Every structure is written in structure tokens, then in C-alpha cells.
Amino acid sequence: MFVAKGAGHMRLERVGEKQFRIFFTVDELEEIGLSPEEVDLSGEWENFFIDTIRNLKDEFNILEEGTIFIDMDFIGKQDPVFVMTIQTMEEQYFPSDWDETDESTDTLHYRFSDVEDVIQLAIRLKHDYSRGELYFFENRYHLILPIVCKDEYERLTAIIKEYGEPALQTIPYIQEYGKKLVDQWAIHQLNYFFNKT
């Protein structure tokens, strides 16, 4: 845990080699004169991010420079959480050890605001994919799909992004705190119950 300039203690969680989540409350933001509604408008936000990133790099001894991607979501109805991803220029979209012959399993995790979007996605994937878990958390539907190779990753991602968006919460977090709706064979089950064609 570290302290950003002028702010109270904020919870910091490392969710990947170069991805981090930073949690803090609206009250903590207001103490330093920041408002979530003005995140894209205020120069104070830019200074806050610069200071936060500097502290984050010091905390985890991150030496390389690169592009910083920042996404903001909310826990419950008001407290924001920022996801920061550091990506260097020479990095590829996929890890170097994940090639066409790799048999290891990875996972896609997307969220949807409407269950109808999940159903329509399942119908579209009917003949190509049958696995997955479906959860409900904070008024969003979370679909967790295990994948086995780069080709499957690319193919599924191209389709899923038309219906939902990447989830910010980690998979273990959703599995622990979300309400499980369908286990293991979500795409198959959704087609069984909702696809009459």
C-alpha cells in the first residue's frame, strides 16, 4: 500500500506482471480537490496520475518505460477503481511463449450490461464454442471463457467485443463475490434454453 501525494491510504493490487488496480474512495478524492465526474477535464487529475504512477513504479521497482493505459470503473455505486497497464513499445499483444503450438489454457473475461447481449453472443458462437461460466455482479453479467490457443483467442475476441467489454475485476474476485448463473458450459446451456432455431 502506498500514499499518493495529498491523498489518504489507497489499496493497491497487482493483477498481472504489468497491470495494477488502485482503489480509493470518493471522500479521499474530495480531500485533494478531485471529482470523478471531472476525470477528463481537470489538470489536477493529470498531476494526480503522474504522482500515482511514480509511486507505483517505486513500490514495485518497475524500471522500464512505456505507454500507460488507464481505465476507471466503480466499486458499488460510487467508489472508483483505476486499472493501470504498462506496455513497452517492443511488447507484442501476446506473450512470447504463447505460439501456435502452445497447449496451455488462458481465459477471456468480458462483462455485459444486458443479459440479452450474452444470449445473442451465445447464439452466434453456437457452432464454434460451448464452454464458459456466467456470473452476475454489480448489475453486470460476467462471462468467463477458457481458451486454448492464439487462434481461438483472436477469433473469440473479435466477436465478443461486439457485445460486451473487457471486465476490470479479476476472475477470482468475480468467482468469489459474483452470483454464479451457469457453470462450465455456459454457451451450450444458453443455446439449449434460449435458442429455438
What are the boundaries of each domain within the chain? 2-87, 106-194
Can you give the pLDDT at residue 7?
Answer: 46
Sheet of 133-137, strand order: 165-166, 106-112, 140-147, 133-137, 179-182
- 85, β-bridge pairs: 19, 69
Amino acid sitting at position 125: L
Classify 16 as helix, strand or coil: strand
Over the stretch 158-196, which tens digit does the pLDDT of each residue have? 999 999 998 888 888 899 999 999 988 899 999 988 887
The structural architecture, per CATH, of the domain 106-194 is 2-Layer Sandwich (3.30)
Classify 36 as helix, strand or coil: helix
Query: Residue for cell digits 470503473?
Result: 73
Question: Pseudo-torsion of CA 111, 133, 21, 99, nearest 10°?
Answer: -100
Can you give the pLDDT at residue 79?
Answer: 65
- pLDDT tens for the chain, 197 residues long, are 333 444 445 677 666 666 677 777 777 777 877 776 666 556 777 777 778 777 777 777 766 666 666 666 665 556 666 666 665 444 434 444 444 434 334 789 999 999 999 999 999 998 888 899 999 999 999 999 988 777 888 889 899 999 999 888 888 889 999 999 998 889 999 998 888 76
- Cα separation, 192 vs 187, in Å, equals 9
Instruction: Name the phi and psi angles at 89, rounded to 5.
Output: -65, -35
